[in-house]
Amino acid sequence: MLAAIERFAHVDGAAIAFDPERCLRARDRFSTCDLCAARCPAGAVRVEDGGAAFDPAACALCGLCLHLCPVGAFAGDTGANDILRCAAQIDDLDALELICPAHPAPATGPARIDAAIGHAGCLASLGPSAYISLMACGLSRVAVRLDACHECPLSQVAADIRQTIDKARRVLASWDMAGHVDVVEESSSEDGQARPVYPASRPPVSRRKLFRRLTSAPTETIDAALLVDEAPSPAKRQLPAERRRLLHALDLLPPVPPTALCPAPDAGQAFVLLGVDERCTACGVCAHACPTGALDVIYDDELRCFEIQFEPRACTGCEACLHVCDPAALHWRRVPLFREFLAAGPGRVHRGVFHVCEDCGARFAGEPSARGFCPTCDFRRQNPFGYKIPPRMLERRVEVRQD
């Protein structure tokens, strides 16, 4: 494993930062999310009570956690920005190959490839959004070289790279582009075509763009809208970089067929519509628990009414809101059509009237108690030493105890 760390230690910005307060397990006590710990090839992440712990000294810098985490608790340079910038600079690029620095024969590859881009680190750092972004740039084919993975100290992440590409393919299937991203599993004597290889961090000088600069002609950029800031952020309610790049890429793809359905939700890559029923008490706990700002509760004190707003594009499917809802009023409605998902913005999913508690002054929906108290204050008056656990949290607590 030390060999792997040394191999990728030169990568600029490869260090990975971890924010334990943003971790889903720290925000949601009964979350069972363990994507980072279960998939880390170096065992640098472990799940503990009340969150996760990250050991930077043990990290192999594969970058897998950077796009696996549904709430962006890990931050670092995935290399996707460099790849997109490099691809934008290559003239007449239609078919692209991606290789890692550990590949022993980068100068030749599959036939019908215009150029190869050498990623500065492990290809595991690239999330589905990187491949979808390359399709949004207008490429017709992206070949990912995994034929040397079996000799790499990080060989076990090859399976994760395949899963990531499968995620991208399931999204691209709606545009009939699933087959445009493929994996080169084994070297072949028939695939010995020479083609230029460009390090992602050192793109070529585009003759066309140079000519446009010299003639003051407008410069066309295909990558600017796809580049996202991957640096750590102090904001606690923010979309992960992987989700932001995915949304940018989807917006730049050609119009989707009207009947195209979003794929079933994957961990960290959710396309869902939220429903709220009449049991909602307008407490706002769901919005407070949401790590990406997909939920909001808006109160109108003059009319004594409220509404729940939900933004599907900002929801990564972490389910924190479902776990903390005391009346179990939230539920996933369905997987949307891609056209309605792409057109979605913050929209009202529930509306109602509220009262004001005579004891704590909190707003709440539903009928007040005989003394004008909200459900929480009424429970506390009747059970001064008791406590309530939301139903889904209680179910999860029982599951955890059984495990």
Higher per-residue confidence, 281 vs 109: 281
Strand order in the sheet with 181-184: 181-184, 141-145, 95-99, 115-118, 197-199
pLDDT-based confidence at residue 378 (cuts at 50, 70, 90): confident
DSSP string, 58-75: G-----HHHHH-TT--EE
- In angstroms, rounded to a whole number, what is the distance separating the alpha carbons of residues 293 and 345? 12
Higher per-residue confidence, 9 vs 121: 121
Closest CA to 240 of 128, 393, 338, 156: 128
Beta bridge pairs of residue 317: none
Instruction: Please name the residues in contact with 347: beta carbons below 8 A apart, sequence gap of 6 or more.
Output: 309, 310, 311
Both tokens of 366, joined, read 């539903």
List the single range of 17-21, 49-53, 314-318 with lowest mean pLDDT. Answer: 49-53
Both tokens of 316, joined, read 């990564």
Q: Count CB neighbours of 325 within 10 A.
A: 23
Return the exposure string of 328-358: e unless at least 16 CB atoms fall within 10 Å of the residue's CB, then b: ebbeeeebbbbbebbebebeebbebebbebe
> pLDDT tens for residues 52-98?
899 999 999 999 999 999 999 999 999 999 999 999 889 889 999 99
Mean pLDDT to the nearest integer, 205-233: 62
> pLDDT tens for residues 102-116?
888 888 887 789 999
- The conformation of residue 218, written as its DSSP 8-state character, comes to P
Return the exposure string of 154-166: e unless at least 16 CB atoms fall within 10 Å of the residue's CB, then b: beebbebbeebbe
pLDDT for 7: 45
Beta bridge pairs of residue 8: none
> pLDDT tens for residues 310-327?
999 999 999 999 988 888
pLDDT for 398: 45
Mean pLDDT to the nearest integer, 204-228: 59
Closest CA to 320 of 15, 29, 13, 12: 29
Instruction: Please name the residues in contact with 210: beta carbons below 8 A apart, sequence gap of 6 or more.
Output: none
pLDDT for 6: 47
pLDDT-based confidence at residue 208 (cuts at 50, 70, 90): low
Q: Is the pLDDT assigned to residue 355 strictly greater than 50?
A: yes
pLDDT-based confidence at residue 8 (cuts at 50, 70, 90): very low
pTM here is 0.86
DSSP string, 167-180: HHHHHHGGGT-GGG
Q: Is the pLDDT assigned to residue 218 strictly greater than 70?
A: no
| Residue where the block lists tokens 């993975």 | 149
Helix (H, G, I), strand (E, B), or coil: what is residue 240? coil
Ordered domains of the chain (ranges, CATH): 2-75 (3.30.70.20), 80-226 (no CATH), 273-402 (3.30.70)
pLDDT-based confidence at residue 224 (cuts at 50, 70, 90): low
- In angstroms, rounded to a whole number, what is the distance separating the alpha carbons of residues 155 and 45? 18
pLDDT for 371: 78
Both tokens of 169, joined, read 């393919």
> pLDDT tens for residues 285-309?
999 999 999 999 999 999 999 999 9
